[in-house]
């Protein structure tokens, strides 16, 4: 099983807060996400300097690959492409990813700092604040100059692209997608954020219409529904599954819609079904950071292990349920056996 992903390599910092003062100061929404400038990130770093901080590898695609490797006991060949700065944060990120079984194909941007995300946690709500930095710069010529880039992608079983990768890299993202389509490779795309749909509506639509598996939460699918001027999410999933590429023989295109702790929906050419999210006791809950990424990593791990869609969703929910028991997207210390004992029925 070989997976290549394209995303924003970020260093995540998690802070627990008791009140909403920082939410108000930086105009943040609960369970929202916002990109800020380098100066704003420096100001926020000063504001949290006295707080206990938890540092982990971050970024949507990186988190999904790390969780996937945890679930598969590093039996997968997982590779991340993205940009970092020439700094100590990049060195730390590379080590963290290596320890978790993920190969890093980082392109260094010498004049920019490695991207960083701060998760402010208040109770069961969190707000993500990101300075993307070097991660947001990846000219196509830099990517193509990476050693054996085309051979690496052509040899994989699935290509995963996070929506955050589209910002300021539309040429690069479209090239990757078009190359995968020419090579008849299965592509999974994660919408990642509502604002991506508002910022780059045509590019997001292109990615959704040229991918085999599309992940997103209910709010993100609602945003792309508006972009495509459809009456309902059901109309959207129907169009995508009926008019999709059809490269996944058993299912055609696959649409996966999550809704936090509420039941999710999976739609393919042949069927649509709801999947339940396991409950978690309040004292077991720590942090929702990376829960969506963990679900995606689990679903892909199941898919690449030839599990049925119901089982893929169950594995995804299991992964998310374990990650929200940790601080940040930290991998649990125990070895999971869910892929060993899952059945392969659909």
The residue ranking higher by pLDDT, 295 or 36, is 295
Q: What is the CA radius of gyration of the chain?
A: 19
Q: Cα separations (Å) of 133 from 144, 155, 177?
A: 21, 30, 23
SS3 content of the chain, % helix, strand, coil (to 5): 40, 25, 35
Q: Taken in order 214, 183, 60, 315, is the CA torsion positive or negative?
A: positive
pLDDT band at 346 (very low <50, low <70, confident <90, very high): very low
Q: In the predicted model, what is the mean pLDDT of residues 279-284?
A: 84
In order, the DSSP letters of 33-51 are EEE--HHHHHHHHHHTTTS
Q: What is the pLDDT of residue 72?
A: 95
Percent of the chain's residues with pLDDT above 90 = 69
| 3-class state of residue 83 by DSSP | strand
Angle at 319 between CA 52 and CA 337, to 5 degrees: 120
Residue 328 has pLDDT above 80, yes or no: no
pLDDT band at 289 (very low <50, low <70, confident <90, very high): confident
What are the backbone angles phi and psi of residue 189, rounded to the nearest 5°?
Answer: -125, 135
pLDDT band at 296 (very low <50, low <70, confident <90, very high): very high
Helices (H) and strands (E) in the chain, counts: 14, 14
Nearest one of 20, 40, 7, 54 to 329, comparing CA atoms: 54
Q: Which helix (H) or strand (E) holds 298?
A: helix 291-304
The residue ranking higher by pLDDT, 247 or 183, is 183
Residue 344 has pLDDT above 50, yes or no: no
Q: In the predicted model, what is the mean pLDDT of residues 31-38?
A: 83
Q: Cα separations (Å) of 32 from 54, 129, 177, 193?
A: 20, 9, 28, 9
C-alpha span between 175 and 181 (Å, rounded): 10
Nearest one of 291, 183, 295 to 247, comparing CA atoms: 183
- Decide if 165 contacts 173 (C-beta within 8 A): yes
pLDDT band at 50 (very low <50, low <70, confident <90, very high): confident
| Per-residue model confidence as pLDDT tens digits over 86-96 | 999 999 999 99
| Per-residue model confidence as pLDDT tens digits over 212-242 | 999 999 999 999 999 999 999 999 999 999 8
Q: What is the pLDDT of residue 343?
A: 44
| Per-residue model confidence as pLDDT tens digits over 99-113 | 999 999 999 999 999
Q: Cα separations (Å) of 286 from 67, 115, 281, 283?
A: 17, 24, 10, 8
Q: What is the pLDDT of residue 345?
A: 44
Domain range 2-341, its CATH number among 3.40.1190.20, 3.50.50.60, 3.40.50.12280, 3.40.190.10: 3.40.1190.20
Percent of the chain's residues with pLDDT above 70 = 98
Q: What end-to-end distance do the CA atoms of the chain give, in Å?
A: 20
For the chain, what are the domain ranges? Answer: 2-341
Q: Which helix (H) or strand (E) holds 235?
A: helix 233-242
Q: Which helix (H) or strand (E) holds 3?
A: strand 2-6
Q: What is the pLDDT of residue 35?
A: 83
C-alpha span between 194 and 219 (Å, rounded): 7
CA 253 from chain center: how many Å? 19
Q: What is the pLDDT of residue 32?
A: 79
Q: Which DSSP state fits 261?
A: B
> Which of 62-76, 118-132, 272-286 is the most confident on average?
62-76
As a whole number, the mean pLDDT across the chain is 91
pLDDT band at 342 (very low <50, low <70, confident <90, very high): very low
In order, the DSSP letters of 154-194 are HT-SEEEEEGGGGTT-HHHHHHHHHHHHHTT-EEEEE---H
The residue ranking higher by pLDDT, 54 or 181, is 181
Residue 318 has pLDDT above 50, yes or no: yes
Residue 34 has pLDDT above 90, yes or no: no
The residues that bridge with 129 in the sheet, in sequence order, are: 34, 118
């Amino acid at each position: 099983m070989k997976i290549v992903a394209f995303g924003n390599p970020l260093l995540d910092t998690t802070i627990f807060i008791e009140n909403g003062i920082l939410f108000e100061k930086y105009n943040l929404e609960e369970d929202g996400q916002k990109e800020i400038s380098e100066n704003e990130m420096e100001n926020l770093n000063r504001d949290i300097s006295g707080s206990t901080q938890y540092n982990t590898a971050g970024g949507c695609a990186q988190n999904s690959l790390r969780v996937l490797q945890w679930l598969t006991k590093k039996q997968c060949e997982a590779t991340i492409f993205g940009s970092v700065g020439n700094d100590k944060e990049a060195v730390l990120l590379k080590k963290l990813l290596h320890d978790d079984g993920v190969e890093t194909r980082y392109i260094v941007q010498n004049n920019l700092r490695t991207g960083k995300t701060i998760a402010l946690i208040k109770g069961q709500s969190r707000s993500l604040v990101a300075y993307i930095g070097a991660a947001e710069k990846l000219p196509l010529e830099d990517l193509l100059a990476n050693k054996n880039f085309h051979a690496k992608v052509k040899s994989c079983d699935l290509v995963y692209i996070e929506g955050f990768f589209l910002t300021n890299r539309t040429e690069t993202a479209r090239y990757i997608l078009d190359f995968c389509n020419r090579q008849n490779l299965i592509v999974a795309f994660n919408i990642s954020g509502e604002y991506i749909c508002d910022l780059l509506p045509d590019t997001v639509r292109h990615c959704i219409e040229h991918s085999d598996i599309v992940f997103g939460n209910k709010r993100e699918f609602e945003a792309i529904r508006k972009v495509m001027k459809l009456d309902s999410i059901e109309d959207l999933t129907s169009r995508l599954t009926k008019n999709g590429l059809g490269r996944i023989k058993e299912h055609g295109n696959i649409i996966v819609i999550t809704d936090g702790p509420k039941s999710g929906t999976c739609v393919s050419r042949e069927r649509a079904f709801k999947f339940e999210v396991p409950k978690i006791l309040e004292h077991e809950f720590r942090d929702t950071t990376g829960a969506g990424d963990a679900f995606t990593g689990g679903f892909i791990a199941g898919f690449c292990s030839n599990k049925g869609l119901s089982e893929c969703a169950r594995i995804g929910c299991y992964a998310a349920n374990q990650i929200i028991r940790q601080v940040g997207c930290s991998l649990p210390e125990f070895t999971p056996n869910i892929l060993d004992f899952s059945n392969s029925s659909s």
